[in-house]
Structures are given as structure tokens and as C-alpha cells.
Amino acid sequence: MSAPLKNDPFIIAQVMDLVLRERAVALSTREWQHRLAGYGYAVRETERGQIVETLPHHIEIGVLPDGPSASH
């Protein structure tokens, strides 16, 4: 992904929406991570929270809002 991704609020909102929708339907955290990888994204745990990033270049997109985890 390129630098414009990091600066476009519309694209960032769409990616975050996708990540949150996938978290809602996944049966486990592992499944959620696998599903996201299929779309070219990953979630990394940091001190700031869960960071969404692109694969394979690990370009940070944003911080996920707090919410229910996928591990039901």
C-alpha cells in the first residue's frame, strides 16, 4: 500500500469497518487474524492498543477502538 492510504480518512474508515465486521463474525481471535490476512491486513498488539497494518509491508493504518474480542 502506498502513503496516500495513511492520509485518506475515507479509506481508513473503510478498512476499520472491514476489520470490525470480520471481528464480529469470527469465532476466535485466530480465525479473525486468518480472515484479515486474506484481505491483506494484520492486527498487532502494542502499548497503544491493537494496530491495524497492511501485509506484507506492515504500514500502520490506525488503532482499533476498544470493543469485544473475537474469542467467544
12-55: pLDDT as tens digits: 999 999 999 999 999 999 999 999 999 999 999 999 899 999 99
CB 27 within 8 A of CB 71: no
| Residue ranges of domains in the chain | 3-63
Give the pLDDT confidence score for residue 69 in this predicted structure. 53
CA–CA dist 30, 11 (Å, integer): 25
Check pLDDT > 70 for residue 4.
Answer: no
Burial class (CB in 10 A: 0-12, 13-18, 19+), 42: middle
Who's near 59: CB < 8 A, 6+ residues apart?
1, 5, 6, 53
Q: What are phi and psi of 9, to 5 degrees?
A: -60, -30
